Structure 1
Amino acid sequence: MIQFIKRLFKKEEKESIEDLMKKYLIVGLGNIGEKYENTRHNIGFKILDEVATKEGITFESQKLGSISKFRFKGRTFILLKPSTFMNLSGKAVKYWMTKGKIAIENVLIITDDLNLPFGSIRLKAKGSDGGHNGLKDIQAVLQTTKYPRFRFGVGAEFSKGRQVDYVLGKWDEEESKQLSERLEKSVELIKSFGTAGLNNTMNAFNGK
């Protein structure tokens, strides 16, 4: 990872390698626009909004997405909600990785997962796209499947042929009641990823 970082910045720049290794890009996947708000597919946006609320920060529209930042225990967390729409998420991820000089090990992609029960959280170091178009595009742009991803279970309570309607649908009443606690747990996971590391965070949060 150190060699990767060395290639990303010039010697005259002020940030040291140590500083760069303490920077994290947290990407919540979703679609922009009012009609997509509060849908299952936009859980990545919702989790980052929860982080922003907890930290008392706001998002600003910048190139290829909305950006916000906060510091915690000596780490800098850059929050990104891509404005490219889900299927073109890779472009925004690569741009902000390069701009922030952030190693791929310090990138966390947050996405919905139909294969996990509602509210389940699973952190992994790598993996396939699982049929998710956002992950598929990120994989194509970055040319690797080896990047950390945080999957949030949305369940699969839909009839045959209704998958799209389900993921683009709003949370039901029972899900909405349970969502608050799950969002808080997700915020804790993100902070742990940056401070305790991937493996410790997986052990502490997966399946919880």
Structure 2
Amino acid sequence: MSSVTPERAVSDDLTPRRREILEAATSVLARAGLRGLTHRAVDREAGLAEGSTSAYFRSSDSLRGALADFVARQLAGDVRELSDQLTAGGPDSGRVVSATARLFDSWLEDPDLLRARLELTVAATRDEELASRFLVWRGDLVAAVDRVLAARRTEPPGVAPAPSAETLVAALDGVLVAALLKHPERRQGFVRESVDQLLSPLDEAR
């Protein structure tokens, strides 16, 4: 059965059955990759009669597209919450590091969602329509980081400019991938240390 946690479910117009299918599809994709994402595999994962997934998503493309939207909406909700936290509290480096690390920890606690996102991201490099489904949540994350950087853009003479928000988001993305390769017990410490190394030095430019 699907291991996607109920508390991560997004508020949208999905029917309970569609949500059940997409949660199962997330688990299948995370475990077996895009080659293993078949209607039959999703039916088995969800414990549904054969043909159930096909009744809602007739083709492989429609299933993959709906799954990309489902994953992206969950990530976008998390990013909006992070953005609200950072905007409300001011550009304190320690608070930014803690809030970002907590978000990453929550994603790593639900590795199926993160692995599914990575699988879809790789596929999106070859599929423009799929790529467009991830633009919003990633753009929101870049915007949140950019607001933090905005308070640090008065570098004194001789101090190198802070990296762009896009560059930092790319680096943070790499931290998530590296964390997945580590033993679960080491992930939280690695994430905290890595996020601290990436974000804390921004104070030096102030």
What TM-score does the superposition give when structure 1 sets the normalisation length?
0.28
Point out the structure with max Rg over C-alpha.
Answer: 2
What TM-score does the superposition give when structure 2 sets the normalisation length?
0.28
